[in-house]
Homo-oligomer: A and B are copies of this chain.
Amino acid sequence: MIFAVMFSAINVIAQRPPVISSPDVQADNSIIFRYFSRNAKEVKISGEFLKEPITLKKDTSGIWSVTVPPVTPDIYPYNFTVDGVGVADPNNTHIFANERFKRSIVEVKGNKPLVHSLQNVPHGKVIYQYYDSKALITTRQLLVYTPPNFDASGKTKYPVLYLIHGGSDTEETWTKVGKANLIADNLIALGKAKPMIIVMPYGNVRPAPMPDFTKDVVNDVIPFIESNYPVKSGSENRAVAGFSVGGGQTLNIGLTNTDKFGYICSYAPYTATEEFKKNFTDWSPDAEKINKQVKLFTISVGTDDFLYESVKQNIAMFNEKKIKVNPLIVSGGHTWMNCKLFLAMSLQEIFK
């Protein structure tokens, strides 16, 4: 009786588009992408596993599809372009956390676990919380990774990595796209990384100028973390890392505070900012002092990165100023695939 009445509800739900599976990763690492539209004239897919967009084909039920040949196991951003309009994959829950575009991400697992895969190891937690930023006169959210078997009693103290996202990314991009938490879980389980806290602040400061973010990190974020988590003191227990605009922020934050950061890891830094110009144009550093304070200063970049030439110039500048820098030059572009690699390298080098 009661179920007859519910028929209207079922009908409403039945009017939804058909349940289709996309992306559908196959055993051979090929990927089937599907998109439902009866009315679209053209559906294409662009992905960081493709050199150029490819066109999907429509079947009689309105489901467009294409099979992308086997790709190297990794996590890739992609989007559809439907009659010229870029859209995230409506059937994929996993969205690239970003303020300027809406792309989806697809994980191609392959048959051996990668450093960023969800593996059968003890897992840490990712904590979302608010803090008051006096520098920015607002309440902001940040993410805090605590390692597996984290001792909340305060008896065990941990070193801290401050990890900054790219230009239009958000405080969630390092976990949602960069899998920083899983990379840390896996490397800690292997004994290759020290148990550490990773703090992921929100780095976009608009319209305020960049230096305000340096102030926010140094005067607000660090004291907030150190008064709320069991943290080891001293610059040898503090690292800063970041990608793209966040890589530029890393250089500014780290190199203007070498008494506070023993490790500075800059990934494909974008440095054409007022703050960088102000800090480094007429910079005459006490290189000997900085080289003593900073235990590791790395700059990483891919040879296909659109910033490759400018990053090389950065490295040359630091060499010229006698600042010891370890370059890591790999293949690939300005991508989060490379970001994961760079982070995995850094986690094995810091706090040791």
Which positions in A face B, CB cutoff 8 Å? 1-3, 5-10, 12-13, 16-17, 19, 37, 39-40, 82-88, 90-91, 93, 95, 97-102, 118, 120, 123-130, 139, 152-153, 167, 170, 175, 270-272, 277, 281, 306-307, 309-310, 313-314, 317
Interface pair B2/A313, CB less than 8 Å apart: yes
Give the number of times this chain occurs in the complex, counting copies: 2
Partner of A6, one of B17, B118, B153, B271: B271
With A85-B83, A99-B91, A100-B90 given, is the CB distance from A8 to B309 under 8 Å?
A: yes
A102 contact from B2, B12, B102, Cβ within 8 A: B102
Residues on the B chain within 8 Å of A37, using CB: 84-85
Shortest CB-to-CB span from A247 to chain B, Å, is: 12
**Chain B positions within 8 Å of A84 at CB level:** 37, 39-40, 83
Q: Which residue of B lies closest to A185 (CB)?
A: B130
Q: A8-B310, A13-B270, A85-B87 are in contact. List 6 more A-B contacts (CB 8 A).
A: A3-B281, A9-B272, A16-B100, A40-B85, A90-B102, A125-B127
A214 to B16, CA, bound (A): 26
Interchain CB contact under 8 A, A126 and B129: yes
* Residue picked from A10, A19, A100, most chain B C-beta under 10 Å: A100
In the complex, chain B residues whose CB is within 8 Å of the CB of A309: 5, 8
Q: Which residues of B contact A8 (CB under 8 A)?
A: 306, 309-310
User: Are the CB atoms of B9 and A306 closer together than 8 Å?
Assistant: yes
Cβ of B127 and Cβ of A272 under 8 Å apart?
no
**CB-defined contacts of A87 to chain B, threshold 8 Å:** 85-88, 102
Closest chain B residue to A130, Cβ basis: B123
Specify the chain B residue showing the minimal Cβ separation from A316. Answer: B2
Within the assembled complex, what's the spacing in Å between the Cα atoms of A310 and B6? 5
Q: Which residues of B have CB within 8 Å of A1?
A: 313
Q: Shortest CB–CB separation between residue A345 and chain B, in angstroms? A: 23
Give the 7 A-B residue pairs with the shortest CB-CB distance, closest first: A152-B152, A6-B272, A126-B128, A6-B310, A82-B85, A123-B130, A125-B129
Asked if B90 and A2 sit within 8 Å, CB to CB, the answer is: no
Q: Which residues of B contact A130 (CB under 8 A)?
A: 118, 123
Contacts of A93 in B (CB 8 A): 97-99, 170
Which B residues are in CB contact (< 8 Å) with A118?
Answer: 130, 139
Please give, as numbers and ranges, the residues of chain B lying within 8 Å of A310 by CB-CB distance. 2, 5-6, 8-9
Interface centre among A2, A97, A152, A271 (most CB of B within 10 A): A2
Q: A90-B100, A93-B170, A126-B129 are in contact. Are A307 and B9 (CB under 8 A)?
A: yes
Residue of B nearest to A276 (CB): B3
CA distance A100 to B12 in the complex (A): 15
Shortest Cβ distance from residue A178 to the other chain B in the assembled complex, whole angstroms: 14
How many angstroms from the CA of A7 to the CA of B309 in the assembled complex? 10
